[in-house]
Amino acid sequence: MMIPTLLLAACTATNVEGFAYSPLSLRPIVAGGPEATSTSIHMGKRKPSMKERRRQRAKKLPSATVDRGILNELPSVDTWEKTDASVGSKRESIPTSEVAEEDNAAITDEETSIDEETEETFAKASSLVQAQRKSVDCLTHVRKRVEESFPINEAAKGLAEKGYFVYDGFLSKAVDGDSENEDAALGDEMVSEMLSESSSMLANDKMQRDITRIADGEFVAQIVGGENYVLCPRITEYVVSITRHLPPLLNKEYDVIGAGDLPKLDSAASMGSLRLYDRKTKLGTLSFLANPEDAASDDSVSERPFGVVCGDSDGTENDSRRLTAMLYLSSKEWDSSNGGGLTMETDGQKVEAIRDRIVLLRSDVCSHRHEPWLGSDDSGLDQASCAIVHFIQG
């Protein structure tokens, strides 16, 4: 069996060129050369170990020295941090302190902006809550005045006997008791706000000139609520609350006193309006309509006729208004010398336009006359107004 092996080795050594592998080198072996032995061919087929491969690579690569000083200055692996941004978003190299200052400034600006927005939102919410609370207080105050302070029995009797009833201090009259005096202060403030709202509506062109009394300097506006609530919130609240609470009490009292001929009133609907007098407008109109020497005089105003709210008797059936409430709004200094008010035709009674005075009169039968407003050039006496509520038949 040894003969075939020797023959194969001899043929390979004499006729085949190949490569002999060595752990230390890789070089061609020429057939017939001294290294082309069976032993070298057999060794060339062995796969070098990992250690031998590393030695081969080390011989081929140039030697390099490593500066250990640099390595010693590097931080440990667990303290490394990423300092370079990703590709496409690299920032210029900026000192760490400057970056920190910029970041802190940006955070401060953002926090300031958030604080301002928060304060603004809080202020709006607080204002809304206060406005709602004020509205509830005014609605409640009118209800309490109607139910607790207003002499409903006397009012019903006056309407049944004379066709009208007059009551002073409807919203601001002080009565016994500390809580009632606080309510009186709230009512007085409410009257002042209602007068202020009247002046504001005139200044903002929210009232129309009464052309039927062109020389009297009077303006009118309807109180409708809704989107117009913001124009006169206190006046609107007054109209709503008195409409809701006064008619039921009067209806009940009519039955008590046996006034069956008095119509029952609706507590769910009414007609509200506002009438304002402006002295400057009146004098300006008179300067065009009267003689120059009479321009600053109130004597040129003609006397007004008597009549009922519903008009003449022929129009009464087509008019649902049955009771009218007039609340006079003026300064505390307003007196009889400043004009305004009513005169009743039946008994000649004069009713002056005193602050916070309410007049109830039967819209269909009580004949009366509106007296012209006069006022004066003194502060607070150049304007006055009247909040009017027409209660309709139920």
Give the pLDDT confidence of 328-363 residue by residue, as tens digits: 999 999 999 999 999 999 999 999 999 999 999 999
Contact call for residues 339 and 353 (beta carbons, < 8 A): yes
The pLDDT of residue 35 is 45
The amino acid at 232: C
Residue 174 scores a pLDDT above 80: yes
Residue 213 banded pLDDT, cuts 50, 70, 90: confident
The pLDDT of residue 139 is 96
Contact call for residues 31 and 8 (beta carbons, < 8 A): no
Give every CB contact of residue 168 below 8 A, 6+ residues apart in sequence. Answer: 354, 356, 357
The pLDDT of residue 104 is 64
Q: Which residue has the higher pLDDT, 48 or 75?
A: 48
The pLDDT of residue 351 is 97
Q: Strand locations in 331-382, DSSP E?
A: 342-344, 350-351, 357-362, 368-370
The pLDDT of residue 120 is 80
Q: Which of 23-37, 221-235, 335-349 has the lowest mean pLDDT?
A: 23-37
Q: Which residue has the higher pLDDT, 86 or 49?
A: 49
Residue 290 banded pLDDT, cuts 50, 70, 90: low
Residue 177, sorted as left (phi over 0), alpha (psi -120 to 50) or beta, turns out to be left
What residues are paired with 370 via a beta bridge? 342
Residue 117 banded pLDDT, cuts 50, 70, 90: confident
Mode of pairing for the β-strands spanning 357-362 and 218-223: unpaired
Q: Which residue has the higher pLDDT, 214 or 206?
A: 206
Residue 149 scores a pLDDT above 60: yes
Average pLDDT, the chain: 80
Residue 48 scores a pLDDT above 80: no
Residue 219 scores a pLDDT above 60: yes
Mean pLDDT to the nearest integer, 121-128: 84
The pLDDT of residue 25 is 42
**Highest mean pLDDT pick, 98-107, 122-131, 315-324, 381-390:** 381-390
3-state DSSP assignment of residue 208? strand
Q: Which of 120-134, 150-164, 237-251, 305-319 has the lowest mean pLDDT?
A: 305-319
The pLDDT of residue 348 is 94
Residue 49 scores a pLDDT above 70: yes
Mean pLDDT to the nearest integer, 209-213: 90
The pLDDT of residue 2 is 44
